[in-house]
A and B are shown apart, each in its own frame.
Chain A
Amino acid sequence: MDNLTNLPNADGFFGEYGGKFVPETLMHALKELDGTYSKLKNKPEFIEEIDQDLVRFVGRPSPLYFAKRLTDHYSGPQIWLKREDLNHTGAHKINNTVGQILLAKAMGKKRIIAETGAGQHGVATATVAARLGLECHIYMGAADVERQSLNVYRIKLLGAEVHAVDSGTATLKDALNEAMRDWVTNIEDTYYIIGSVTGPHPYPMIVRDFNAIVGRELRIQSVEQFSQYPDAIVACVGGGSNAMGIFYPFLEESKVELIGVEAAGSGLMSGKHAAPLNDGEPGILHGAKSYLMQDKNGQVLDTHSISAGLDYPGVGPEHSNLKDSGRANYIAVDDEEVLSSFHLVTKLEGIMPALETAHAFAALEHIAKNYKSDQHIVINVSGRGDKDINTVATMDGISLD
């Protein structure tokens, strides 16, 4: 197998995926960002500053926790949880924003923009912008503003402005379109903090690198706590940043199975889902070539998922390459499975996962039987579920008013 760790190449490609497919106005800004990041990423002072923030502001390292009752429930492998839900602001998203805001600062940008689906990236961006006193604008699909109202209010409390996007499907992809248009217009003073391993080069690389702290910690913790690397690592995949962060430090450990879980929505057969790696074709959206949900004319399809954070027709280009190379496997679970998994984990472990994260848990129903009791599976608990209680209550037919 080719070395997967040294990707992307200088042009931003992971195999045939990735690249920079953007309007001309953005090309200079991408080059500037690439230059700044290459210069800073190995500088001891920069690394030290991020490490300090991760420890004292984010609360890292996040624990690796043995899920005893979940393990008993499946009576298969030992199930361990990487607790990104315990990070400040409640998800892995803060790992990336803490790093990118320092790039913005180094580049002298005064204005921060970001897109958000579930609102976790919006909160994480508004949080770091508040901390540095920078103007912040968050683009969010109007449908997501509705279903993630708690996070919308958090973002506003943090001093950022939320722009509801009505165009297209009014979800994450449209928020990304609008954020890109803002960036094209305000290119001189604005830094765009992309929230996933998507978009044009160098974003998929930068967002992966800042999230790779999760996988690096897991390498140490797994050896300390169960004397080996995990037999399998499971993570949900929308754009794919939490998955890339925990997968990346294990790419060369060929015995560690990597399993990504996409949103099958109402079912893969229904067409109403958000699982491009399972049921899409390579295409170009938002600056990169990757698997994409599209029709025969190359128009991007509407997606559906119970979780706003996974409701996206594309996926990070590195995942597309990992799929084609066979290094990672990608499965999909539907909304119903996710909801019952949400309840199961909450009741058995006292941990209420985000609906995005519940996809990774739901995968256990399919894969746990393949492992023996002396094997170890790690679930990346990418975020906590407080933001989703309205959605869950509605699904369960309960009124919270």
Chain B
Amino acid sequence: MEYLLTRLDEKIVSLKNESKKALVAYLVAGDPNINSTLELMHGFVNSGVDILEVGVPFTDPIAEGPIIQAAHDRALKNNTSLNDIFLLVKEFRKKNTETPIILMGYMNTFLANSQAIKKAHLSGTDAVLIVDVPGESNLEDLGIINKNLASISLIAPTTSEDRITKICDRSSGFIYYVTLRGVTGSSHLDISEAEQSINFIKSKTSLPVFAGFGIKSPDDALNLSKISDGIVIGSSIVQMIHEQSNQKEFKKIYNYLNEMAAAITR
């Protein structure tokens, strides 16, 4: 990784130098429509978001709770494809060349698009997180390895110690720690369990560990940021985007993100 610093690595180094925790925000591309997604991405960055996680909609997103599932359905009603998302990233990069972008999705949409990973890189994407590809899998067989693109893996409370080691060896960018047993947006946060696991992960890798799934309030954000290098917020934002989508007025979301950003720097 040292010889090819991606935008994501640079961001991680600069956060570390400033002793700052990362705020990662998720949204589904194409919900409510692709133009709003572009506007929201810029708005997120202006509200203190460090890294953008862009959901690639899929018909059968088995790791998602009802809120994000519904967003995938809405995005698919707009026929949002991976190619549309590459164009979205390209458009975003016209005004922002610094904020890292991670595409998060399911393997089948990447399999169906020949050279998806190469196109992702060329569009200005920095990393991919494929939810249904376990971290120790041989990603090269699946065409996912690209030296210009970080490969983010999930580690869950149920991940065994020997697999944590293997996943850490295979990962780049950062480790995404799933804070709970459940789908996205659930509410069974167990901070002490998360702390133990994150400490173990950190004993196995020098990569930063971000925590996500189930973070809703500034308190959740504060508590988790104390034990990790950053937090990921998804369902609560996706819900707000949906609620505001008629008037296309996203101020409420930006205020929320500002609050979350403030919480983790406390």
Binding site for B on A (CB under 8 A): 20-29, 31, 167-168, 173-174, 177, 180-181, 184-188, 283-287, 292, 294, 296-300
User: Are B156's CB and A294's CB within 8 A?
Assistant: no
Residue from A20, A177, A187 within 8 A of B181 (CB atoms): A187
Chain B residue numbers with a CB within 8 Å of A187 are 158, 181
Question: When each residue 81-111 of chain B gets 1 if its CB lies under 8 Å from chain A and 0 otherwise, what string results?
Answer: 1100000000000000000000000111111
Q: From A21, A297, A299, name the one whose CB has the most chain B CB atoms within 10 angstroms.
A: A297
CB-CB under 8 A from B82, the residues of chain A are 297-298
Contact B132 A22 (CB under 8 A): yes
Contacts known (A167-B69, A181-B183, A297-B82); A285 close to B158, Cβ less than 8 A: no
Instruction: Give the segment of B44-52, B59-67, B190-198, B201-209 that binds chain A.
Output: B59-67
Q: By the criterion CB–CB under 8 Å, are A292 and B108 in contact?
A: yes
Contact of A168 among B59, B107, B112, B113 (CB under 8 A): B59
- Minimal Cβ-Cβ distance residue in B for A167: B69
User: Roughly how many angstroms separate A294 CA and B153 CA in the complex, as a whole number?
Assistant: 26
Q: Can you list 6 residue pairs at the A/B interface with Cβ under 8 Å?
A: A27-B156, A167-B69, A185-B186, A284-B106, A298-B82, A300-B108
Interface set, chain B 154-201, CB cutoff 8 A to A: 154-160, 163, 178, 181-183, 186
A24-B134, A184-B182 given; A29·B112 CB < 8 A: no
Q: How far is the CA of A297 from the CA of B30 in the complex (A)?
A: 15
B62 to chain A, nearest CB (A): 5
Tell whether, in the assembled complex, residue B133 and residue A299 are in contact, meaning their CB atoms are under 8 Å apart: no
Most buried by B among A24, A292, A296: A24
**Structural contact, A168 and B73, CB atoms closer than 8 A:** yes
Q: Is the CB of B181 within 8 A of A185?
A: yes
Q: Given the known A-B contacts A27-B159, A185-B182, are A283 and B132 also in contact in the complex, defined by CB atoms under 8 Å?
A: no
Q: Give chain A residues whose Cβ lies under 8 Å from the Cβ of B64.
A: 181
For A24, the chain B residues whose CB sits under 8 A away are 134-135, 153-156, 158-159, 178
CA distance A282 to B108 in the complex (A): 9
Q: Spell out B's residues near A (CB within 8 Å).
A: 58-66, 69, 73, 76, 81-82, 106-113, 131-135, 153-160, 163, 178, 181-183, 186
Do A25 and B131 form a contact, CB below 8 Å, given A286-B60, A298-B113? no
Q: Give 7 nearest A-B pairs by CB, closest first.
A: A298-B112, A23-B63, A298-B109, A28-B158, A24-B154, A185-B182, A25-B156
B197 CB to closest chain A CB, in angstroms? 12
Contacts of A181 in B (CB 8 A): 62-65, 183
Q: B112's contact among A22, A184, A283, by CB below 8 Å, is which?
A: A283
Inter-chain contacts of B112 with A (CB < 8 A): 283, 294, 296-298
| A20 proximity list for chain B (CB < 8 A) | 134
Q: How far is the CB of B189 from chain A (nearest CB, A)?
A: 13
Contact status A27-B163, CB under 8 Å: yes
Select which of A21, A185, A299 is within 8 A of B59 by beta carbon.
A299
Report the Cα distance A270→B113, complex, angstroms.
Answer: 25
A168 touches B63 (CB 8 A): no
Who on chain B is nearest to A301 by CB?
A: B59
Q: Are A25 and B108 in contact (CB under 8 A)?
A: no
Establish whether residues A284 and B107, one from each chain, have CB atoms under 8 Å apart when the complex forms.
yes
Contact of B158 among A21, A29, A168, A296 (CB under 8 A): A29
A25/B181 in contact, CB under 8 A: yes
* Contact present for A25 and B158 (CB under 8 Å): yes
Minimal Cβ-Cβ distance residue in A for B110 = A298
> Taking CB as reference atom, which chain B residue is nearest A20?
B134
B212 CB → nearest A CB, Å: 12
The chain A residue sitting closest to B182, CB to CB, is: A185
Q: Which residues of A contact B182 (CB under 8 A)?
A: 25, 184-185
Cβ 8 A contact of B109, one of A27, A168, A177, A297: A297
The residue that B60 contacts in the complex, of A29, A173, A185, A296, with Cβ under 8 A, is: A173
Chain A nearest CB from B120 CB (Å) reads 14
The CA-CA distance from A102 to B108 in the complex, in Å, is 34
Contacts of B63 in A (CB 8 A): 23, 25, 181, 184
Q: List residues of chain A with CB within 8 A of the CB of B107.
A: 21, 284
Chain B residues near A292: list those with CB within 8 A: 108
Q: Please indicate the chain B residues that have their CB under 8 angstroms from the CB of A31 in the complex.
A: 160
Q: Which residues of B contact A287 (CB under 8 A)?
A: 132
Contact A23 B62 (CB under 8 A): yes
**Given known contacts A168-B59, A185-B182, A27 and B134 CB-to-CB distance under 8 angstroms:** yes
Q: With the chains together, A298 CA to B105 CA distance in Å? A: 12
Residues of B contacting A21 with CB < 8 Å?
Answer: 107, 132-134
Which residues on A sit within 8 Å (CB–CB) of B154? Answer: 23-24
The listed residue with most A CB atoms (<10 A of its CB), out of B61, B131, B181, is B181
**B contact residues around A29 at 8 Å (CB):** 158
Bound complex: CA of A26 vs CA of B131, how far in Å?
11
CB of A199, distance to nearest CB on chain B (Å):
11
Closest to A287 in B: B132
In the assembled complex, the CB of B248 is this many whole angstroms from the nearest CB of chain A, namely: 26
CB distance from A113 to the nearest CB of B (A): 14
Bound state CA distance, A24 and B135, in angstroms? 8
Cα-based distance from A174 to B133 in the complex (angstroms):
20
Check B108–A283 contact: CB distance below 8 A: yes
- Bound Cα distance from A292 to B61, whole angstroms: 16
Residues of B within 8 A of A284 (CB): 106-108, 111, 132
Residues of A within 8 A of B60 (CB): 168, 173-174, 177, 285-286, 300
B134–A22 CB distance below 8 A? yes
In this complex, what residue of A is CB-closest to B106? Answer: A284
Chain A, residue nearest B155 (CB): A24
Bound CA span A188–B186, Å = 16
Q: Which residue of B lies closest to A180 (CB)?
A: B62
State A83–B153 Cα separation when bound (angstroms). 48
| B65 proximity list for chain A (CB < 8 A) | 181
Chain A residues contacting B163 (CB-CB under 8 Å) are 27-28
